[in-house]
Amino acid sequence: MFIDGEWRGAASGATFDSTNPATGAVIASVPDGGRADAQAAIAAAERAFPAWSATTAYQRSDYLRRAWQIMMDRRDELAKRMTEEQGKPLKAARGEVVYGADYLLWFAEEAKRLYGTTIPSSRADQRFIVSHMPVGVVAAITPWNYPMSMLTRKIAPALAAGCTVVLKPAESTPLCAVDVIKVLAEAGLPKGVVNLVTAKDPAPIGQEFVTNPAVRKITFTGSTKIGRMLATQAMSGLKRVSMELGGHAPFIVCEDADAVHAAKGAPLVKFLNTGQACISPNRFLVHRSKVEAFQNEFKARMLKMKAGSGFDDAVSIGPLINEAAIAKIDRQVKDAVAKGATLLCGGSRLTDNGLDKGCFWAPTLLANVTPEMLIYREETFGPVAPVIAYDSEDEALRMANDTHYGLAAYVYTPNLARAMRLYEGLRFGIIGINDINPTSAAAPFGGMKDSGMGREGGREGIADYLEVKLGGFAI
């Protein structure tokens, strides 16, 4: 762990293993921190806050820019660590490292854009000035599916705003977090500005975050269940909260769309990170006249996908993160088939050619999916694509919005008017129109309803780390 500028073990001396999901092999042991370690990290961040918040925006920008350069210089090394610990193919891991570095560079610039305003007064002897101040100590809890970029997406705006940070990374990918913190430490950040607490059991750390009065903001990416619990507990201390939670993205193929073209893009986003991405489509809503062409092209592309170790350049499907993920997908697929879905390909765990030691699932395509099936309602987080036929635009919009989630949605149509209608009618925070990658460090990322609150990235991404201060001057 990294606390107050020093690498140290847990106060208890306990450790836990980080394993490779492709092979089950132990990579290394890391400190198994507890509440006392979280308290020490928060205390260090609180001590560091006055001096760090007093630095100029240009100074903070320089630190972030140096960190960006180091991360880019080490992108191959960092990508190999990610493939080893998280499992995604090496090419995708390199892409994530660059994406994560982009947040450091973007917020290095946004640090210098924290403009204030003046407000005219009705009194001749009065002036109003509005400025923005850092909220204080930020507690960040990050997921395993994007174990480097999700760190920088939270840490970069916090540092740019003048906040100090305590990070609790996912217990499945602690080594990726260690490597990112090493980048920030090498960039020369003063001690206590960024702190890392690793733990096998996140509950005690989370409890300290939500109850410690020194923590003024919680930022969390993970499940809706845990996010709701953290937000509820944090409100007792009136802490600032931002949440990036689950998704259940619809992918709408309209009547006038080129079904083959849509089916070429669909697997790229569906099987992104082996389907373990909150913006991956979970429901393919295809106009009935386009279903056959869409499914045929989709299936043909899926059958070419190879599963295995991410270090094999021919592999496009890596392992799932653990056995629980396998069990969830198995339950959803069996439920769908039992209720009338047609299994077009896949549908089982992969164990041949040495894959039995890892958590691999065959890319799966289901046809004739209906609302009674679990997969229609539940987030899958895996390589399963369910196809649902519809007959009208209104029906597609109703089906797409028929979920408690509201993170991402996708639409394929060449008709501008239809694209605008669906963009405006879909109750999701991110809409890709003929676009399977509607994300960037420069763009706000976040969802509606049970998919969370607040935005990360873009100029909106720094706002949640700032307090608005008003000065009324009598002159």
The active-site residue, picked from 85, 278, 297, 359, is: 278
Q: 3-class DSSP state for residue 242?
A: strand
Cα distances from 251 to residues 140, 376, 385, 433, in angstroms, run 31, 13, 10, 10
Neighbours of 398 (CB within 10 A): 12
> What three-state secondary structure class fits 391?
coil
Tell me whether residue 176 is one of the annotated catalytic residues: no
HSE at residue 454, side-chain half, CA atoms within 13 A, is 24
Residue that the structure tokens 């174990």 belong to: 147
Round to whole Å and give the CA distance between 433 and 163: 36
DSSP secondary structure letters along 77-107? HHHHHHHHHT---HHHHHHHHHHHHHHHHHH
The per-type count for the chain, helices as H runs and strands as E runs, is: 14, 20
Q: Is 244 a catalytic residue?
A: yes
Contacts from 420-429 at CB under 8 Å and sequence distance 24+? 421/393, 422/252, 422/254, 422/393, 422/396, 422/397, 425/397, 425/401, 426/250, 426/397, 426/400, 426/401, 427/401, 428/249, 429/455
Distance CA 337, CA 367 (A): 9
Rounded Cα distance between 254 and 256, Å, is 5
Using DSSP, state whether 177 is helix, strand or coil: helix
Tokens 């501008």, residue located: 416
Backbone angles phi, psi at 322, to 5 degrees: -165, 180
Q: Which one is catalytic: 46, 244, 379, 456?
A: 244
Q: Which residues share a beta bridge with 126? A: 474
Separation between Cα atoms, residue 450 and residue 453, nearest integer Å:
8
With left for phi above 0 and alpha for psi between -120 and 50, is residue 117 left, alpha or beta? beta
Cite the active site residues: 244, 278
